Structure 1
Amino acid sequence: PSDRVDESAPKEYLKAVVEALPEAIEALREDLDTEPESAWFSSIGAAWMHLLGTLASDYGKGYPLYMQSPLFAAKQLEAQLGSYTELRHDTILYEKPNYAELGDGWNEEPPNPLPMGLIEPNLPFWGELLRVVDYIADGFEENYLFERDLEEYGALTMFRDTVERCGQLAAKQLQGKKLTEEEYEFIRLFDLDYMAAAADGYGGIPPVDVYRSALVVDIQTVNLDPMAISAPAILYQAVSEPSVMLALVGNENTPRVLIGMAFDHREFTGPHGRRLTDSMWKKRVYDRYDEYFDIKEGEHAPLPEKNFWYDGLRP
């Protein structure tokens, strides 16, 4: 490893790792298959890892074409690693959605057609996420934790209702059934802001930094070169700003382009010694913006190069 603040793993090392992966993955799969169901629900972390496994599926006929693309598997891998990074960082998993203004009702022009969104129809994911939420709720109740979150309009209760409905709509889409206007409105106004609780509790205003999802975590001290005993490196996992994902869908005989958010995952090494912190990483990710969130002029430090398995996902 060099003295750079960050660098991708050497390509020769990655090539050797990739060649050894199939055998290693099969051995790991055999070990995991012997684990009882209860082991996956022995902690929130284990349950979340089990949930991420539902993203590694084959999507054949009947699914949207973009989900049948080989590149979708790379996108799912990035989602798995991005969520794993957040899990290791021990953060709440959430996203800050964008939504349109409702308007003041004074525009006499005919209203625009109702946007037709999509719930990604991964039924195993929605079913498993519902199980994880129930597992968390049971833990809260048994240990008398966050009791307000379990009330009718508490954050976890609302989130459970949202997850359950997403699963129902996903199933309806896979069955080729039309969604109602109210169901499309549910998708359009999808909101998880209530999951970002302010430090001063309900009713407070979360600080702006809460909505900046970039974070970094060091997961291991490694030696990529067996001969470099005196030069250990720190292996980092990080997520940057979410990427914008465009997908072409055509359910209900209505071809259209949809916009969603996707993880931007990075894996890199840094020299042993001073460790990279969240504040340092966020400054690097968001330093290109001014106080009005416009991109500043001038050069900015590039982020670590993405791993080759994400090739093709971005221009």
Structure 2
Amino acid sequence: MKKRIASLLLSAAMLAVCAGCQSTSASIPTDSSPVSQPDTTPTASPAPAARPTSLLGDLPVLYDTSLVPAVPEFTVAEDFSNVINADLLEYWNDEARAKLLENGFLVVSSPIDEFYPRYESNRYLYTPNFVTVDASLHTYHLYFLYLQRQVEEQHLLPLLQELTSAMLAQSRAQAETLAGTDWENAAQRNVAYFSVATALLDPEADQSAFPQEAIQELALINDAAGIAPSPVMNRGEENGSPQEDYSQYIPRSYYTESEELTRYFKTMMWYGRMAFLQSDADKTRSAVLVNLALRESGAMDNWQRIYDVTCFFAGASDDANAQDYLPLIDAAFGADADLSALASDGAAFETFTESLRTQQPASINSMPIYEWDDRDESTAGYRFMGQRYTLDADILQNLVYRDVEESSDGRQRLLPDALDVPAALGSDTALDLLHEQGDTDYPNYDSQMEDIRTRMAAAEDSVWNASLYAAWLNTLRPLTEARGEGWPQYMQTNVWRAKSLTSFLGSWTELKHDTALYSKQVYAEMGGGGGIEEADDRGWVETEPVVFGRLAALSQATADGLESLGLLDDASRDNLNKLYELNYQLMVIAEKELRNELPSDEEFELIRSFGGQLEHFWLETVATVDQSFVTPQEHPAALVADIATDPNGSVLQTATDVGTIYVIVSVDGSPRIAVGTVYTFYQFTQPLDQRMTDQDWWVATGRAPDEEGNFHWEDRPAPAAWTDSFSVSDTYRGA
């Protein structure tokens, strides 16, 4: 079996040039030596230049790398009599009390809709706060999503409209010039291709002059029913290739919130997914014409601007694009070749197609193909605005069929498991859970996982600082580490390590949700209150200083990168600075706790006021100018993302909700129960044509009524089974 693992990480290493968003497809090395390419850059009309470094640059290391944990141990009485606020447990049932005593913490399902309200109620009830990394990670997600949406609505959508209009006009001119030549069909394909994009951006556009293939394509996109051959890409063929998964055009994430965002989503999905296959001569001619039209229409600046900005958020594409094709086109045909010469020079076209063999195949397959197809040959090609390479998608790609092969009883691993990602990043707990689930019983799974772990551990900082997406993933990596002597007692247990996986996977689900449009999705091959006496309410910060430190650095990098792109307004700069300062202060407190140093009164007040600070960021990101009052019930934190696709008919979904965590901590030698909010994590499959939106998930979890007006709180889905060791659905007696 051909193993693809060799490209992992090394293919990602070039993402350090992400801000210029040079496509990885032509320049990803498969070993540690750089690929040597002939100098084909023309002297005139050059391809767009890539900047040499990421907009993120080198993120600073803010945390103390030499810190030695020294948290003293303490004992909790079986009846909790030495816990100063044990009255919290007065009405708890036996199961909840037993788990809290045994593990030192407990996660409880709750009806709250956001992370901050529990912290606010703690303050007024004099209950110690337990400040979680989950709450801080969720707050970064809110601001990431807010900024990306703002950039798309205010900047990228107008550019996309200008770009598409220019490309359709230039493609029509090309088709007129090339009528009667061998390039006519390729030119007409491009007219249909940009006609589809035009209609997706403006459903009211006059379609009377659209080619029939475009009308057929739009019907498939609007039906979003499943997998079928593309009428546009297979123009002039019967049952040709590629096939497209039209369920991907179901708007999801925040793209359901307005018609403009929905149109942007569908158009960028079209530009990101449809491939002009390298193995097909006529589709390759279309790719040549698209690139010439891009340059000749004067639309290159708009294309580059859209690509650069989206690279900053989500990373570079590993499919070939204009930056790969234009130098090869100019080398073969000449930098100033006109269309008539292009169509008559068969030798030059042969030279060009031969030069495409130098292109490195994409690491991630995002197309439906059959198990007997050669993956690279079947997927290699040009995409106008390809979806983006991500490290986690590369991990998942290497852990599904065919790479892990078929089990001894004939099963094929056509969908990965979310636990694959933290396992690959070093979590032995995640790997143990996968083994216990029987999810690794495939001939090559263990060897693939071992190779991935080795490469991930060896990844340089440039890999993790290549985009906001990569840096967010890097922020989560400490949550995969085992904690030993000197750490809080509860953190040294297997049960806490499992709980940390929900923190990792909850935030990862938000990352996948926020970048659903841009990041590639893995495809396997088709096979078969007042009046309360004031009390000691000094709280605790979850002792994950590295996570808080990386979140602080990520917040600063987000601001700096957007400012360098000219996309940062004063209010956003101010809020990102506040987010940096909050996470920096939490890092400092967590380090003090680990050294067994008592935080200052000001730092305890920060812990006490944590809910109010979270509420500020929440309001900044969800309130609009026409809203005088908004509640979490209108904008719940619960969300869903689709992670991977089995083209035989199903998708892997992960989802989140908000839970309450109770942790027994000792502050100044006094044990107490501190309370905070955490992610609850869900994983399940859905039919391919029923990819869930956030609104669907709110109905499923009882947050919103169904079409008949009924709520489903009682029959809401259960969290992932492996979370049972540290969680209960309710704490009250009789529950």
The bucket for the TM-score relative to the shorter chain is 0.7 to 0.9
Is 1:233 the counterpart of 2:655 in the alignment?
no
Structure 1 unaligned spans of 5+: 1-8, 92-100, 224-230, 290-295
Is 1:279 the counterpart of 2:703 in the alignment?
no
2:439 is matched with which residue? 17
1:293 is matched with which residue? none
Is contact 1:287-1:300 (8 Å) kept? no
Is 1:253 the counterpart of 2:666 in the alignment?
no
Task: Give 1:57-206 correspondences, 5 Å limit.
Answer: 57-90=481-514, 112-149=534-571, 151=573, 154-190=574-610, 191-196=613-618, 197=620, 198-200=622-624, 205-206=629-630
1:307 is matched with which residue? 720
After TM superposition, the structure 1 stretch with the greater mean CA deviation from structure 2, 112-121 or 161-170, is: 112-121
- Give the C-alpha shift of residue 23 in structure 1: 4.0
1:270 is matched with which residue? 686
Give TM-score scaled by structure 2 length.
0.35
CA distance in 1: counterparts of 2:634 and 2:577, whole angstroms: 21
2:636 is matched with which residue? 212
Q: Which amino acid aligns with 1:307?
A: A
Q: Which amino acid aligns with 1:301?
A: D
- Residue 643 of structure 2 aligns to a residue whose secondary structure is strand
Is contact 2:552-2:584 (8 Å) kept? yes
- RMSD over aligned Cα, in angstroms? 3.1
Change (3 A) 1:184 1:282: same
Is contact 2:543-2:590 (8 Å) kept? yes
Q: Which amino acid aligns with 1:254?
A: S
The C-alpha deviation readout for 1:253-305, integer Å capped at 9, x for no partner, is 1111111111111110122323222111102213489xxxxxx99973331x4
- Give the C-alpha shift of residue 251 in structure 1: 3.6
- Residue 63 of structure 1 aligns to a residue whose secondary structure is coil
Change (3 A) 1:141 1:309: same
Is contact 2:552-2:581 (8 Å) kept? no
Q: Which amino acid aligns with 1:90?
A: D
The C-alpha deviation readout for 1:37-75, integer Å capped at 9, x for no partner, is 112111111100011101112222222212112111111
1:26 is matched with which residue? 450
CA distance in 2: counterparts of 1:283 and 1:58, whole angstroms: 37
CA distance in 1: counterparts of 2:653 and 2:455, whole angstroms: 26
> Which is greater in Rg?
2
- Residue 727 of structure 2 aligns to a residue whose secondary structure is coil
Is 1:243 the counterpart of 2:243 in the alignment?
no
Q: Which amino acid aligns with 1:268?
A: F
Is contact 1:155-1:194 (8 Å) kept? no
- Give the C-alpha shift of residue 144 in structure 1: 2.2
1:6 is matched with which residue? none
Q: Which amino acid aligns with 1:139?
A: G
CA distance in 2: counterparts of 1:264 and 1:247, whole angstroms: 16
Change (3 A) 1:288 1:282: closer
Is contact 1:221-1:234 (8 Å) kept? yes
CA distance in 1: counterparts of 2:484 and 2:457, whole angstroms: 24
- Give the C-alpha shift of residue 16 in structure 1: 3.4
Give TM-score scaled by structure 1 length.
0.76
Is contact 1:66-1:249 (8 Å) kept? no
- Give the C-alpha shift of residue 308 in structure 1: 3.3
CA distance in 1: counterparts of 2:435 and 2:591, whole angstroms: 43
- Give the C-alpha shift of residue 187 in structure 1: 0.3
Change (3 A) 1:204 1:158: farther
The C-alpha deviation readout for 1:216-262, integer Å capped at 9, x for no partner, is 11122227xxxxxxx5212111112x111111112421111111111
2:3 is matched with which residue? none
Is contact 2:633-2:703 (8 Å) kept? no
1:97 is matched with which residue? none
- Give the C-alpha shift of residue 78 in structure 1: 0.9
CA distance in 1: counterparts of 2:675 and 2:649, whole angstroms: 42
- Residue 169 of structure 1 aligns to a residue whose secondary structure is helix
CA distance in 1: counterparts of 2:500 and 2:542, whole angstroms: 12
- Residue 567 of structure 2 aligns to a residue whose secondary structure is coil
Is contact 2:656-2:680 (8 Å) kept? yes
After TM superposition, the structure 1 stretch with the greater mean CA deviation from structure 2, 46-55 or 203-212, is: 203-212
Change (3 A) 1:12 1:233: farther
The C-alpha deviation readout for 1:165-193, integer Å capped at 9, x for no partner, is 11111111111112222221110111212
Is contact 1:217-1:237 (8 Å) kept? yes
**Larger helix fraction of residues:** 2
Is contact 2:703-2:711 (8 Å) kept? no
Structure 2 unaligned spans of 5+: 1-416, 418-432, 516-528, 729-735
CA distance in 2: counterparts of 1:49 and 1:297, whole angstroms: 35
- Give the C-alpha shift of residue 200 in structure 1: 2.7
Q: Which amino acid aligns with 2:692?
A: L
